[in-house]
Each structure stands twice: as structure tokens, then as C-alpha cells.
Structure 1
Amino acid sequence: MSRSLLGLLLLSMFTFHGAVQAQSLPWVDDTNFSNIVGQGGPAVVFFDASWCGACRSLDGPMGTLAARYGGRVQVLRMDVDSNAETPQIFGIRDLPTVVFFNHGSVAGRITGSASLDQLESRVQALLR
């Protein structure tokens, strides 16, 4: 097998794997946001839209966060096109945006692309 074919195969496997993980993130919406995020524990909300190409760069890292911290941190996703109220309350103007909550209050945010290490660092800070 040639190097380029092997590289494409590995890239496609990684991309598919990331998409599967992202789809496993629970969706939150305007009607249940306060009840879910305000439960008291740490939460991470990925504000996203289907048309947002840059948001796809966070699919894999967000899925990995959910897998690694699932029992300790809620990792959620919100579609900003279907939910106008919550993004407006939290000043979501650019996508992708990830907001970190602790006991229902904003503890931090990342706007734009971010690495898994950057996201994980913020999650670990929530758990301290």
C-alpha cells in the first residue's frame, strides 16, 4: 500500500471517528438549558451550527472530552440556529464557541478553534 493511500485511509478513519463521537454529545436547547446546566456540577456547552465549517474542527475533541469526563462533567451541544434565547443570554456571536460552566455560572469560554489540550485544561480547572 502506498504512503499516500495509507495516509488517506488513516485520515478518513480519524475523521469518521470524530464525527461519530460528536453525534454522541447530548443536545441541549432553550427549553431545558437552565435545568440541565444549572444542576450544580460542571458543564461544557459547545455552541454550534450545521453550516459552521470551523465547528467541525471541534467535533473530535468535544467527543473525546465527553468520553473522558462523562461521569464528572456534562458535555453538551447547542444548535444556535434552533435556539436563539440561550446564545443571546451568553453573548454567543461567533462560532464555534465553547462555554464552561460551574454551578450554573460561566467559568470561561473559548471562541474559535481549540485543541483537545486547551479544552481539557479548562475542564480540569472546573474539577479543582
Structure 2
Amino acid sequence: MHKTLSIVFLGMIALIIGCSNEDDPIATSNSEENPTAEEILTLDEEADIFMFNGIIYNTNVDWVDELTLTKGDQVGEVKEQVEKDHFEYSNGTANKLSVGSPIFEANERDDILIVEEDGEVHYYYALVEG
């Protein structure tokens, strides 16, 4: 009986160690910090992101795109567009949005911003930890 418990215990430890993913920057990052542009773009190099007030916002989130939101006040605009492999973002930096695209708050939610570009409206979700 004692030998069986030892084998089960060792098997559980091997399973836990085998399932850890040290190559995943999100999984190995400090869980109390918000994701960075580099972390997001490493996971999905096609992600459409921008930084506002120190937070990375991402679009094309299925459940967010299904919401019906109304624009509130304009809170900013895109100030800089960077290349795909550029990871140093500051407020107003985007990787796909055009410079000058206006950024609006969403009246219904604090964690979503609305951006208008070329007559299209896009919802961007705040990527925050916790």
C-alpha cells in the first residue's frame, strides 16, 4: 500500500512538471503585472494593439465584438505607429492603427475603448491582470 502511494505521488509530480511551460512568457511572468506589448505580440504576432494610460488594449476579442457600445468622450488619439518587431510602447503607440485615429471611452464599460479609423469602429479591450 505504501509503495503504491509513493508511485502515485511521483506520477503526480512528473505530470505537474511536464505540464509547466517555461516558453510561455505570460505563464512565467509575474502574475501581478499587466501584459506588455512584447508578451502579447510574442503570443500572437498579428495582434492589433495599442497602449493607453500604461495599459495594452487589444481588438478582435470575440465576446467584446458582440457587445453594443456607445462612444463617450474622446480621451486621446494614436500618436505613433510602430513596426511589427518594435516592443517599446508608450501612451498612444499602436502597431496597426493610423496616427491621429481618435480614441473614445465606452459609456457602458471602463475596460473597453472605442477607436474610429477610416469610418470603421473598433472595440479594444484592456489587458490587465487580476
Normalised TM-score (structure 2): 0.28
More strand by share: 2
Normalised TM-score (structure 1): 0.28
